[in-house]
Amino acid sequence: MSAAHRTERADALVLFGITGDLAKKKLIPAVYRLALHDRLPDAVVGVARSGWDLDDLRRHIRTTLDESDHDVDDEVFERIARALRYVDGDYEDEDTYVRVAEAVADQQLPVFYFAIPPDLFDDVISGLVANGLHERARVVLEKPFGRDLASAQELNALLHRHFPESSIFRIDHFLGKEAVQNLMVFRFTNTLLDPVWNRYYVDNVQVTLAEDFGVEGRGRFYDGVGALRDVVQNHLLQVVALLAMEPPATDDPEALRDEIAKVLRAIRPFDPADVVRGQFEGYREEDGVEPDSDTETFVAVRAFVDSWRWAGVPWYIRAGKSMASTVTEAVVELKRPPRPMFTSTASVPEPNRLSFRMKPDDQITVAVQAKKPGEELESRPVSLVLSEAVDDGDAPGAYDRLLDDALDGDPRLFSRQDAVEAAWEAVQPVLDAPPPSELYRVGSWGPTGADRLVPGDVWNPCGEG
């Protein structure tokens, strides 16, 4: 495939699963914002097996937008309505793909978005191939990219039988978030960080993704997944990669993805002895959850990136549901000075910390020491805070950005095959031999057993600063 093909703007977007939950919550609002900014392709084709017709789909999209946070512009909606086409049919029926081919017959480069369960991928890919729709197309897949290393490799083999890697876009919406991208920008555009961004000065790094809500009616799905698969193997290892990677050699998207893949390959496979799994009290009473389920709703890991820059530095990763608050944050803690100065014996200075908060707001905090007011020459902790102003809604969301990038053929913020497999290799030992889950209270910070993983048995407090 030529570079021109890779970067050519697609003229059709085909959404398999257009009537599903993901489409309603994320994709339909993203399509609206594409239209709002004159980025809508010529054709938007919805595919589902709902027994609908085109008018039903138009009404569904209008209702979805009216119920969202959007102040719907009628002219923008009409733009979508004119581009919209609908194919209703079973994903195992060959005729469905004949009608998809007819719907994009006038388009030169379609993007096929799989907002469907992974067990349908084989049927859909086979249907596309049978009608030659794969020959000049891109395909976008939602996580999970497999359930473990073997299934991820099997999925990749299926895709690569018909699509080159440059036409496969594995979407992890975390990478589309403004705050996550700010990790890269802040790191590589501020030279004051680079001299200390290594094993000589960094004592440890902590990455937390906590949610104060439970499985929210998704018990059947979640019980077959768990926290390790749901957010650690993908979202949080991506954050680790962005914090640990070397600067890309060029502006080429593949240079960035090369550096991400290098970090993921350097992550030492997780030792189950360095992993604590937890389950919130009452989880087994959730609809769809097995009465004897051992699925983890919390996981904490002590991990290591065995690269030259990071050898020996522990990376503490935790994620959980029904916790004390909803916060996503990465905290880089520097080593303490060689000996305490300007302090009383009762007050040992805190180490310097650099915190990247990605949720609930976009905030960077640098915790340092400064003189305490008064006659004594004594230090106290102070925080330097960079907080992004709350946007008025004009900035693109994660799905807006990633959908637009897929239409452009820009793979920069999408996961590559080798990186996906490297991340699975890191978590595979825990999937093979998971330690038993420990119960924890709803509204807590997880099981107390997780405290043993970190120095002093105390995690850095989240959401402060």
> What is the Cα gyration radius of the chain?
24
pLDDT value at position 175?
A: 86
| Pairing of β 314-320 and β 202-210 | parallel
If pLDDT is split at 50, 70 and 90, which confidence band does 292 have? very high
Residues 132 and 260 in one domain: no
The residue segments making up the domain with residue 245 are 175-396+435-453
Of 142, 166, 198, the position where a domain reaches its end is 142
Residues 54 and 123 in one domain: yes
Tell how far CA 159 is from the center of its chain: 21
What are the pLDDT digits (tens) for 68-82?
876 899 999 999 999
User: Does 371 carry a binding-site annotation?
Assistant: no
Of 97, 118, 142, the position where a domain reaches its end is 142
Of 98, 118, 142, the position where a domain reaches its end is 142
Task: With residue 401 as reference, give the H or E element that holds it.
Answer: helix 398-408
- Is 429 inside a domain boundary? no
Are the C-beta atoms of 241 and 263 separated by less than 8 Å?
Answer: yes
Residues 338 and 443 in one domain: yes
**Amino acid making up residue 435:** P
- Is 224 inside a domain boundary? yes
pLDDT value at position 15?
A: 98
Residues 233 and 379 in one domain: yes
Tokens 């030792």 map to which residue?
A: 271
**Amino acid making up residue 168:** I
Residues 21 and 120 in one domain: yes
Task: Kindly provide the residue ranges of all beta strands, DSSP E only, lying in 321-407, ordered along the sequence.
Answer: 327-334, 353-359, 363-371, 379-387
DSSP 449: G
Q: Span 1-26, mean pLDDT?
A: 82
- Is 383 inside a domain boundary? yes
What are the pLDDT digits (tens) for 153-204?
999 999 999 999 999 999 988 888 888 888 888 889 999 899 999 999 999 9
pLDDT value at position 344?
A: 64
Q: Which two tokens stand for residue 403?
A: 């959908």
What's the CATH code of the domain at 308? Answer: 3.30.360.10
What's the CATH code of the domain at 132? Answer: 3.40.50.720
From the candidates 5, 70, 160, 235, give the one annotated as an active-site residue. 235
User: Does 216 carry a binding-site annotation?
Assistant: no
Residues 134 and 268 in one domain: no
Q: Which of 163, 74, 199, 153 is nearest to 409 (CA)?
A: 163
Residues 91 and 186 in one domain: no
In the chain, the percentage of residues whose pLDDT exceeds 70 is: 94
If pLDDT is split at 50, 70 and 90, which confidence band does 465 have? very low
Residues 181 and 94 in one domain: no
User: Does 212 carry a binding-site annotation?
Assistant: no
Task: List CB contacts of 365: < 8 A, sequence separation 6 or more.
Answer: 353, 354, 355, 357, 383, 384, 385, 386, 465
Residues 195 and 69 in one domain: no
User: Does 230 carry a binding-site annotation?
Assistant: yes
**Strand 12-16's sheet: what is its strand order?**
84-88, 43-48, 12-16, 110-114, 138-142, 168-171
Q: How far from 449 is each of 270, 289, 434, CA to CA, in Å?
A: 17, 24, 15
- Is 6 inside a domain boundary? no
Tokens 């006038």 map to which residue?
A: 106
User: Does 56 carry a binding-site annotation?
Assistant: no
- Is 320 inside a domain boundary? yes
Are the C-beta atoms of 154 and 146 separated by less than 8 Å?
Answer: yes
Residues 201 and 98 in one domain: no
Residues 109 and 214 in one domain: no
Q: How many domains is the chain built from? A: 2
User: Does 177 carry a binding-site annotation?
Assistant: yes
Residues 108 and 192 in one domain: no
> What is the spatial distance between Cα 214 and Cα 117, in angstroms, rounded to a whole number?
22
- Is 163 inside a domain boundary? no
Tokens 């880089």 map to which residue?
A: 332
Is residue 134 flagged as an active site residue?
Answer: no
